Amino acid sequence: MPHVDVIRKAKAGDTQAFELIVEEYAPELRRFACRYLDVRDVDDVLQDVWTSVWRKLWQLDDERRFVPWLRTIALRTCLNHRKARAAKRRSEFSLAPEHWSLVESFVADEDTPVHEVLEDRDLRRLVSELLDRLPGDYGTLLRLRYMAEMSYKEIAEIANIPPALVKQRLHQGREILRARLARTLKESWPRLKAHRNEGGKRV
Looking at the structure, give the CATH architecture of the domain made up of residues 97-197: Orthogonal Bundle (1.10)
Question: Residue 154: pLDDT above 70?
Answer: yes
pLDDT tens-digit map of 164-203: 999 999 989 988 988 888 787 777 655 555 554 555 444 3
Helix axes of 163-197 and 121-132: crossing angle, nearest 10 degrees? 120
Query: For 8-12, 30-34, 126-130, which range has the lowest pLDDT when averaged over its residues?
Result: 126-130
For range 98-115, the mean pLDDT: 62
Domain 4-88 of CATH type 1.10.10.520: no
- Is the pTM above the cut of 0.85? no
**Integer angstrom CA distances of residue 17 from 12, 25, 65, 72, 200:** 10, 13, 17, 21, 59
CA angle 37, 120, 172 (to 5 degrees): 75
Q: Where are the domains of the chain?
A: 4-88, 97-197
Poorest-confidence range of 64-73, 91-100, 144-153? 91-100
